[in-house]
Structure 1
Amino acid sequence: MTEQNIKVKKKAMTISLVIGMLMFAGKTSAYLLTGSAAVLSDALESIVHIIATAFAFYSLLISLKPPSRKLPYGYGKVEFFSAGFEGALIIIAAFSIYYYAIMDLIKGPEIDSLDIGALIIAIASLTNLFLGLYLIRSGKKTNSLILIADGKHVLTDSVTSIGAFIALILVLITDIPYFDPIIAIILASQILYTGSHLIKESISGLMNQNDNKILSEIAEAFDKERSENENLIDIHNLRYWKSGEKFYVDFHLTLPFYLTVLNTHKYYQRLEDILKKIFKTDQVEVMIHVDPCKTIACKVCQKHDCVDRKSENVVCKIWDVDKITGKASYNL
C-alpha cells in the first residue's frame, strides 16, 4: 500500500467522522424543534453513521498493519467485518424508524417549526451528498471497501434527509401531519435495503466469493493471449480472493514439458501483467502451478510444430469462465 493511499484513506475517514458529528448535532436540533418522525429517522441515521465511521476508522488503522508471522496475508479482511458491522447498524436504525413512525400513525403526529427544520435538513442533505460521493470516489481510487461502504452509508443518509425535507414541506403545504410518518416508513425501507446490501457484500468478501464479471474478463483476456501464443496449452482451477487492497490469484497452467524455467517465467510474467490490468492495480499476487504437458494434452494443444506431438489437435474449446475455473480440458 502506497503512502499516498494511506493519506487519502485517513483524510477521508477523518472528514467523514467530523462532518457526521456536525450533522448529528444539526438533525437532533431539527427533531427537537419539529418533533417529526421523518427528521427523527434522519437523526438516528446520523447516530449510526458516527458509530459506524468510528469503527470503520479503527478497522482502517488495523488493515494498514503489515503482514505478520501469524497473519501472513495481512489484516485486510477486517474491512469486510467493518462493512458488515455498518450494515447491521443501518438495519437496527431502520427498525427503530419503523417503530417511531408507526407510533406516530397510531397516536397522531405533532409537528412544529416546519420552516426552520426544513432548512436545517436541506443543508444536511446537500452536505451528505457531497461527502458520500467524495468517500466513494476515494474508496474506488484506493480500492478500499471501508471507504466505499462508508460513502454508500452517507449517501443513504443524504436520501433520508431528502425524504425528511419532503415530509416537512408536504406537511407545511397541506397541513396534513400524517405525511410525516408515512414518508418515514418509506425511508426506513430504503435504509433497510442499503443495510442488507452491505451485509451481503461483507459476507461475500469473507467467503471469498468471486465476481463473475471479473472472471469473464480474465477468461476473455487469457483466451486472446492463447490465440497469440501456442505454448499456452491449458489453464484451469482458477480462483481469486481479496484482502485489503491486494488481490490473490492462483491457477494451473499447462505448458510444453520441454520449456526452460526461464521461458516458463516469461509466461508467468505475461499473465500476471494481464491480471494487473484487469484488477486495475499492481497489488496482485499470482500463484501458478505449472503442469508439464502429457500425451493426453495433445488433443487440446494448438502448437502444430511441436517436436513431441503424439496426436492431432481435435479440441479447440474457447476459454470461458467454466473452462478456466474447472478441470483441465484434456482430462474431460
Structure 2
Amino acid sequence: MQSLKHTESHKEKKQAAYLSLAIGFLMFFLKITAFIITGSSAILSDAIESIVHIFATSIAFISLLISLRPPDESHPYGHGKIEYFSAGFEGGLIIVAAASIIFFAIEDLIFGVELQKLDLGAYLIFASSVINLGLGLFLVKIGRKTNSLILEADGKHILTDSITSIAVLISIIFVMITEFKLLDPIIAIFVALNIIVTGYKLVRQSFRGLMQERDEELIEKIIPALNELRRDDFIEVHKLRAWSAGNFHYVDFHLIIPSYYSIEESHSIQKYLTESLREKIGTDLQTMIHFDPCKSSHCFYCMKRDCSIRQYEFKFPIEWTKDNCLSEFVVEKVNNNSK
C-alpha cells in the first residue's frame, strides 16, 4: 500500500514538472511577442524572467528525477539533497534576472523609451499572468502535498513571474491612459526588487537544507508524538535532533531506560518507537535512538513502579518539553530547578 502511495506521489511530481516546462515555453513566446510589438522594457523584463523560468525548470526537472531515486550503496541516505542545490540555483538565477531587469530599466530612464501598440501587448501579458498564476498555485500545492522542495520552489518562482506580469500590465494600462512613458522602466525596477526578495528566500532555504539546519517544523511534530508514545520505563529524552533532505526526514535522540534492560528489550523499544513515529509523522521518517542506562539520580523521575534496582522514591516525571528534549543534561537542569 505504501509502495503504491510512493509511486503515485512520484508520478504526480513528474507530471507537474512536465506541465511547468511546457507552459514555460508558452509564456516566453507570449511575452517576447509582446515585447517585439510594444518595445516596453517592463515587458522585456517579464520575458527575461520567463527565460530564467525555462532554464531553471529544466534544471529542477533533472534534479527531481535524481531526488526520486531510492537510497543505494553510494548514497545510503538517498538523493534528496539535490533538491536544495536546485532551489539554490533557481534562487540565484532569479536574482541575476532581477539585476538585468534593473539594468535595462535604468538605461531606459536615462535614454528614454519608445512604446507602441500597448493595447495588444496588454492582452498578451494579461493572458500570461492568468496562466502563470494558476500554474504557480498548482505547483506550490503539489510541492507541499508531495514534500517536494523543487516543485514548491518552482511554483513560488512562477508566482513571482505572475506578480511581475500583473505589475507590468498595470503599468501598461496607466501609460496608455496618461502617456507617462517613464512609468514603464520605473515599474520594471520595483518588480525586479520584489523578485530579488523571492530569490534570496530560495537561496536561504537551500542553504538551510545543505547545512542540515534544524527542522523546527519536524521537531514540533516529533515531541508531541513522543509524549503520546511515552511509557513508564521511558525516563528521559535528550539531545533530540531533526533535519530533512527532500522527501526524507531524520530524527535522532537519546532515551534513558532502566540499566538492566537487555539488548533484546532495547531493540523492541527501538522497533516500537520507529514504527509508531512513522505512523504519526510519515513513512519517509528515519529514526535513530541511542539508549542510555539509568543512574540512581534518575530514580526520582522514573515512573516504573516495579523497578528491581530502585534506590530512591519516585517524585515526579521529567516533562518532555521542547527545551528538555533538545538539552544535553536534563536531569541536572531539573535538579537545579527543583531546589
Q: Structure 1 residue 236 and structure 2 residue 231: aligned?
A: no
Measured in 1, the distance between the counterparts of 2:173 and 2:191 equals: 16
User: 1:269 offset after TM fit, Å?
Assistant: 4.2
> Which one of the candidate residues 25, 35, 52 is aligned to 2:39?
35
Contact in 2 for aligned 1:300/1:329 (Cα 8 Å)? no
How many residues are aligned here?
Answer: 329
> Unaligned stretches of 5+ in structure 1?
none
Paired amino acid for 1:294: K
> Which one of the candidate residues 250, 268, 275 is aligned to 2:252?
250
Equivalence for 1:165: 169
Equivalence for 1:306: 307
Contact in 2 for aligned 1:62/1:78 (Cα 8 Å)? yes
**Normalising by structure 1, what TM-score?**
0.93
Contact in 1 for aligned 2:215/2:244 (Cα 8 Å)? no
Equivalence for 1:282: 283
Paired amino acid for 1:189: L
Measured in 2, the distance between the counterparts of 1:152 and 1:312 equals: 57
Equivalence for 1:205: 209
Contact in 2 for aligned 1:144/1:245 (Cα 8 Å)? yes
Greater mean alpha carbon deviation, residues 140-149 or residues 269-278: 269-278
Secondary structure of 1:288's aligned partner: strand
Q: Deviations over 1:132-159 (max 9, x none)?
A: 1111111112111111111111111111
Q: Deviations over 1:17-55 (max 9, x none)?
A: 010011001100111111112111110110000000000
Q: Structure 1 residue 180 and structure 2 residue 184: aligned?
A: yes
| % same residue | 47
Paired amino acid for 1:142: T
Secondary structure of 2:99's aligned partner: helix
Paired amino acid for 1:235: V
> Unaligned stretches of 5+ in structure 2?
334-339
User: 1:117 offset after TM fit, Å?
Assistant: 0.4
Measured in 1, the distance between the counterparts of 2:185 and 2:210 equals: 37
Paired amino acid for 1:237: K
Equivalence for 1:326: 327
Measured in 2, the distance between the counterparts of 1:103 and 1:222 equals: 60
Closer/same/farther in 2, CA of residues 277 and 144 from structure 1, 3 Å limit: same
> Which one of the candidate residues 61, 71, 74 is aligned to 1:57?
61
User: 1:304 offset after TM fit, Å?
Assistant: 4.0
Closer/same/farther in 2, CA of residues 148 and 171 from structure 1, 3 Å limit: same
Secondary structure of 1:296's aligned partner: helix
Measured in 2, the distance between the counterparts of 1:40 and 1:32 equals: 9
Greater mean alpha carbon deviation, residues 141-150 or residues 249-258: 249-258
**Normalising by structure 2, what TM-score?**
0.91
RMSD: 1.9
Measured in 2, the distance between the counterparts of 1:9 and 1:225 equals: 33
Q: Deviations over 1:99-136 (max 9, x none)?
A: 11111111122211111000000000010011111111
Closer/same/farther in 2, CA of residues 277 and 209 from structure 1, 3 Å limit: farther
